[in-house]
């Protein structure tokens, strides 16, 4: 079924400038320099015993004092950097590689291998970390290699679980299925399909783990099962310094600080890598200070004629003028909805059609005060049932709307809480907004379910959403939107996920509910035929603006439609009478990328009738001779009488 | 291209008392160089038939042959040979392309798996394939996330054509696309089918699309074939009640401005 993406378009951002990343890289640089040069510069001095300077407290010559053999503790700490880091990195990489193989390989092997690998990982994870480490030490005897192996073995299962979780998503993906069907070898499936798609989170995790590994290795050495004399790492130094902690506490603090410093460096590096990945996925928005105020519609307020009409016309239920919705983006505001104006009369059913990214859902959800997080909604006028909603916070406006606006969402599975019984969820509304008692509210919920023809409503109310079929769930959502007796229903793609026969029942139900209760409705859909059956009026949106507002009956006679886009849309879908010998009508090109400003008419690039002024100036939505409104310099309905364009390609 | 014959195909999901037949004795033929439409609602088993033909799902019983070659036999069959028998185009081009490979690499992958072309000839083949699906050569350097849904589906079609399969299975290939792009993809499939004489199973829930694109249509419901015949004839004069219900449920632009839905609500006792 269709899975439409709405909301702001995503963009990649440039290189990040996070202070944390810079600090982490600097700290790591210091560590690497020390690891490379310290043993060369001070290696001999750090191991040379000096009988004249045994266990000295800190002094100018020995800033951290000396140990029991008279060796300088500061130099020893600096020299130990190499061994400590090499051990930590080696152990983590070893654990990472084994874990990756265990966790990710099954994605390209059969289901039996997957089960086998999964049980190995779970069993391994079940062993306590310390137990694994101790067993390794007992089996291999204490020493540097033992410590590294022990740590790698304790780290392996958690990396494996991570790789397993990530790669199972790739394993079930259609692109891997496609690769398998192409006959791509398993080795290539692993290296080109699985690994690149799980690499980033694994790398982040490994980096962060090096810090933890360093700490664990130091603990092993501190306990005496790790590095053995005459070798020394920070843990060993810590253990030696601990012996003289009463007369020279600095002796233990030096290596301790080194462990903390290195641990922090790796953790911070891992965190900033993770942050960079997040930003690349979602685009890093500019901070509010650089974004400036949210954009508002450029067009001046209503002309005197419009104002006059607005006042003489029957009072609208919903009056929207100059509505814009903007999102913070990497180069400033992204404007998926710009200067949208329309009115809904009581009892009217209005359809909103447009392609993905046209802003149709964002517009209607913003009016219902359900705009996505981060959205800035501005409007010259936004009145519902005579009450002004501009200047209120979404929460306040939401209270004004209360139960007078009901919303039907597209995906009934996510719109209903899976953990609550359907009846309980419906009863919530009269309980919260109407102050009804528990029994009364439940009774209302059952009646609402019965109203949408859900058989055996009393029993069904006791069931959970997953026990309902898709069509039943959508009906329950309609019941939910109806329960507060709203005067406006906003339905966002209410039947997109449904089969045609179920779709027709749900649409008929919605139509009947409106006819009986006198409620108005706004129905958002990408399918113009669905709206043709259901609605009385059609708003056509393209690239964030309304391009045509027209009586639905005109759809049956497409030559009377004015905007080239509406005409193409009405003609582009094959119906049961389409001439099979001719190619289908198509609209050339693609909708514009709204993350970049569009000059002029957004449809101009795909329009056969566009002239130069179309490309420079945005056409204004104005009253048109067909009784509605259109935003186009070259409306096509007049020409229809002398040269009726058939089903040939519009544009091209 | 070749003739596909499915005989009495059964696909069972689940075990013992919870088992049910998602596909329950389906037989159909796709003659050489024709498009057979497979329509039905969710749960009708049409996608399971497709996945079984494509080798992504095991059959419980029955036979599937392509010019007499048994497609259900998996042992001892070279996977590359099998790949040249059947290729599938998936519904959602957002998920059927590897996000970490450019369009060019994706198509090259299909080419190199099935022939040792040198670099220059491979690049030329990629250009040819992109041209075949009406895409510009510059698209080869872009990642799937940088192109639109319609373009992605064209890339998926090009990848499938790169293998020169004997049969193509197209599973709801237009339903994730925008209305203005759907028509273009349908046109493309029809043109390609004529140019290359493709044999194809075209699966969809959209009867209007299947009527436009398929020579013959098979209507499925609950794992069985309900009706089978000439596409135009099935839509114009459906014989079975189920097909009639499907056809009459299609929303139509001609109903604009009439109270068709309210009348339907009355008939169905929805008031």
Residue found under tokens 């993906």: A173
Strand partners, A612: none
Euclidean distance between CA atoms B166 and B146, whole angstroms: 31
The alpha carbons of chain A give a radius of gyration, in whole angstroms, of 34
| Out of B205, B256, B264, closest to residue A504 by CB | B264
Euclidean distance between CA atoms A363 and A378, whole angstroms: 11
Across A491-505, A625-639, B32-46, B70-84, which has the greatest mean pLDDT? B32-46
Rounded to the nearest integer, the mean pLDDT of chain B is: 88
Selected residue of B35, B37, B135, B178 to mutate for chain A interface (largest A Cβ count, 10 A) = B178
* Residue B3, SS3 per DSSP: coil
- For residue B175, the model assigns a pLDDT of 84
Q: Count CB atoms within 10 A of the CB of residue A25.
A: 13
Nearest residue on chain B to A589, alpha-carbon basis = B181
Percentage above 70 pLDDT, chain B: 98
- Summarised one tens digit per residue, pLDDT across range A419-457 is 999 999 999 888 887 778 889 999 999 988 888 878 888
| Out of A175, A528, A570, closest to residue B98 by CB | A175
Task: Specify the pairing of strand B20-30 against strand B4-13.
Answer: antiparallel
Does the distance separating the beta carbons of B175 and A578 come in below 8 Å? no
- Summarised one tens digit per residue, pLDDT across range B116-138 is 678 888 889 999 999 989 899 99
Does the distance separating the beta carbons of A527 and B251 come in below 8 Å? yes
Does the distance separating the beta carbons of B254 and A504 come in below 8 Å? no
Does the distance separating the beta carbons of A570 and B179 come in below 8 Å? no
8 Å CB contact between B169 and B204:
no
- For residue A304, the model assigns a pLDDT of 62
Contacts within 8 Å (CB) and 24+ apart, A588-592: A588/A649, A588/A651, A588/A652, A589/A651, A590/B148, A590/B150, A590/B151, A590/B181, A591/A355, A591/A357, A591/A358, A591/A542, A591/A543, A591/B148, A591/B178, A592/A543
Q: Where are the domains of chain A?
A: 19-45+74-282, 548-652
Spell out the domains of chain B, with CATH numbers in brackets: 4-91+165-267 (3.40.50.300)
Does the distance separating the beta carbons of A453 and B251 come in below 8 Å? no
The alpha carbons of chain B give a radius of gyration, in whole angstroms, of 20
Does the distance separating the beta carbons of B148 and A509 come in below 8 Å? no
ipTM for this model = 0.89
Q: Count CB atoms within 10 A of the CB of residue A439.
A: 9
Q: How many beta-carbon pairs under 8 angstroms link A with B?
A: 219
Does the distance separating the beta carbons of A512 and B270 come in below 8 Å? yes
- For residue A332, the model assigns a pLDDT of 81
Q: Is residue B28 over pLDDT 90? A: yes
Euclidean distance between CA atoms A614 and A649, whole angstroms: 20
Which parts of chain A sit beneath pLDDT 50? 1-16, 640-652
CATH of domain A19-45+74-282: 1.10.3720.10
Please confirm whether the linkage preceding B126 is cis (ω < 30° from 0): no
* Nearest of B52, B259, B207, B61 to residue A534 by alpha carbon: B259
- For residue A277, the model assigns a pLDDT of 79
Strand partners, B63: B7
Distance from the Cα of B261 to chain A's closest Cα (Å) equals 5
* Torsion angle (degrees, nearest 10) of CA A288, A293, A295, A296: 150
| Out of B41, B187, B264, closest to residue A584 by CB | B187
* Nearest of A417, A419, A481 to residue A449 by alpha carbon: A481
| Out of A355, A572, A578, closest to residue B212 by CB | A578
Does the distance separating the beta carbons of B82 and A500 come in below 8 Å? no
Selected residue of A9, A181, A479 to mutate for chain B interface (largest B Cβ count, 10 A) = A181
- For residue A309, the model assigns a pLDDT of 64
Segment among A14-28, A592-606, B52-66, B153-167 with least mean pLDDT: A14-28
Does the distance separating the beta carbons of B271 and A516 come in below 8 Å? yes
Residues 479-538 of A with CB under 8 A from B: 499-505, 507-509, 511-512, 515-516, 526-530, 532-534, 536
Distance from the Cα of A585 to chain B's closest Cα (Å) equals 7
Does the distance separating the beta carbons of A576 and B180 come in below 8 Å? no
8 Å CB contact between A379 and A322:
yes
Alpha helices in A592-638 (DSSP H): 612-616
Q: Is residue B4 over pLDDT 80? A: yes
* Nearest of A442, A439, A500 to residue A471 by alpha carbon: A500
């Amino acid at each position: 079924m269709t899975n439409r993406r709405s909301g702001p378009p995503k963009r990649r951002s440039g290189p990040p400038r996070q202070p944390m990343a810079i600090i982490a890289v600097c700290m790591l640089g210091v560590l690497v320099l020390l690891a490379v040069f310290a043993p060369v510069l001070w290696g001999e001095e750090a191991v040379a015993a000096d009988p004249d300077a045994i266990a000295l407290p800190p002094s100018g010559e020995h800033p951290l004092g000396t140990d029991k053999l008279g060796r300088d503790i500061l130099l020893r700490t600096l020299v130990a950097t190499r061994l400590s880091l090499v051990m930590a990195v080696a152990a983590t990489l070893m654990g990472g590689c084994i874990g990756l193989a265990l966790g990710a390989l099954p994605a390209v092997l059969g289901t039996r291998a997957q089960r086998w690998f999964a049980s190995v990982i779970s069993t391994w994870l079940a062993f306590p970390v310390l137990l694994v480490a101790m067993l390794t030490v007992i089996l291999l005897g204490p020493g540097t290699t033992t410590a590294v192996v022990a740590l790698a073995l304790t780290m392996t299962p958690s990396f494996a679980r991570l790789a397993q979780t990530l790669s199972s998503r790739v394993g079930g993906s259609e692109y891997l299925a496609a690769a398998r069907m192409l006959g791509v070898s398993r080795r290539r499936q692993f290296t080109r399909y699985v690994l690149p798609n799980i690499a980033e989170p694994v790398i982040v995790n490994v980096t962060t783990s090096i810090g933890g590994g360093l700490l664990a290795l130091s603990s092993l050495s501190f306990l005496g099962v790790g590095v053995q004399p005459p070798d020394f790492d920070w843990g060993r130094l810590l253990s030696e310094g601990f012996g003289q902690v009463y007369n020279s506490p600095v002796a233990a603090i030096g290596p301790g600080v080194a462990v903390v410093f290195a641990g922090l460096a790796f953790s911070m590096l891992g965190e900033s890598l993770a942050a960079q990945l997040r930003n690349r996925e979602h685009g890093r928005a500019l901070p509010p200070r650089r974004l400036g105020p949210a954009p508002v519609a450029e067009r001046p307020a209503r002309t005197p004629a419009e104002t006059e009409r607005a006042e003489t016309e029957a009072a609208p239920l919903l009056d929207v003028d100059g509505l814009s919705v903007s999102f913070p983006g990497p180069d400033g505001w992204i404007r998926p909805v710009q200067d949208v104006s329309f009115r809904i009369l009581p009892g009217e059913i209005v359809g909103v059609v447009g392609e993905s990214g046209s802003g149709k859902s964002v517009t209607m959800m913003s009016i219902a005060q359900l705009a996505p997080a981060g959205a800035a909604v501005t409007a010259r006028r936004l009145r519902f049932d005579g009450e002004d909603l501009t200047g209120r916070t979404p929460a306040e406006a939401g209270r004004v709307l209360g139960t007078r606006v009901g919303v039907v969402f597209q995906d009934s599975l996510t719109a209903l809480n899976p953990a609550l019984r359907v009846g309980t969820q419906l009863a919530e509304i009269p309980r919260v907004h109407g102050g009804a008692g528990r029994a009364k509210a439940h009774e209302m919920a059952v009646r609402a379910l019965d109203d949408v023809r859900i058989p055996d409503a009393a029993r069904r109310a006791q069931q959970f959403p997953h026990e309902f079929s898709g069509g039943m769930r959508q009906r329950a959502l309609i019941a939910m939107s109806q329960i507060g007796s709203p005067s406006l229903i906003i339905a966002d793609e209410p039947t997109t996920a449904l089969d045609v026969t179920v779709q027709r029942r749900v649409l008929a139900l919605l139509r009947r509910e409106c006819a009986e209760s006198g409620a108005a409705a706004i129905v958002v859909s990408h399918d113009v035929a669905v709206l043709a059956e259901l609605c009385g009026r059609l708003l056509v949106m393209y690239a964030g603006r309304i391009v045509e507002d027209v009586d639905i009956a005109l759809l049956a006679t497409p030559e009377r439609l004015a905007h080239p886009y509406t005409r193409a849309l009405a003609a582009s879908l094959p119906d049961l009478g389409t001439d099979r010998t001719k190619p289908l009508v198509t609209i050339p090109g693609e909708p514009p990328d709204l993350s970049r400003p569009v000059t002029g008419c957004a449809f101009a690039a795909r329009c056969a009738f566009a002239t130069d002024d179309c490309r420079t100036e945005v056409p204004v939505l104005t009253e048109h001779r067909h009784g509605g409104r259109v935003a186009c310099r070259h409306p096509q309905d007049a020409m229809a009488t002398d040269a009726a364009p058939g089903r040939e390609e519009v544009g091209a | 291209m070749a003739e596909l014959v499915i005989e009495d195909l059964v696909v069972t999901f689940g075990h013992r008392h919870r088992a049910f037949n998602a596909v329950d004795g389906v037989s159909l033929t796709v003659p050489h160089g024709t498009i057979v439409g497979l329509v039905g609602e969710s749960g009708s088993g049409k996608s399971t038939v497709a996945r079984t033909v494509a080798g992504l799902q095991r059959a419980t019983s029955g036979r599937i042959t392509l010019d007499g070659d048994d497609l259900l036999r998996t042992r001892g069959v070279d996977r590359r040979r099998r790949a040249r028998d059947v290729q599938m185009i998936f519904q959602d081009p957002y998920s059927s392309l590897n996000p970490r490979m450019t369009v060019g690499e994706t198509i090259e992958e299909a080419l190199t798996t099935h022939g040792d072309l040198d670099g220059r000839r491979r690049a030329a083949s990629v250009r040819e394939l992109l041209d075949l699906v009406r895409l510009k050569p510059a698209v080869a350097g872009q990642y799937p996330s940088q192109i639109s849904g319609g373009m992605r589906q064209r890339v998926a079609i090009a990848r499938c054509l790169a293998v020169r399969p004997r049969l193509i299975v197209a599973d709801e290939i237009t339903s994730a696309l925008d209305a203005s792009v759907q028509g273009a993809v349908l046109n493309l499939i029809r043109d390609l089918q004529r140019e290359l004489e493709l044999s194809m199973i075209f699966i969809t829930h959209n009867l209007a699309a299947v009527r436009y694109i398929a020579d013959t249509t098979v209507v499925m419901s609950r794992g069985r074939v309900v009706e089978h015949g000439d596409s135009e004839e099935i839509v114009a004069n459906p014989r079975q009640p189920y097909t009639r219900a499907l056809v009459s449920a299609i929303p139509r632009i001609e109903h604009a401005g009439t109270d068709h839905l309210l009348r339907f609500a009355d008939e169905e006792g929805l008031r």
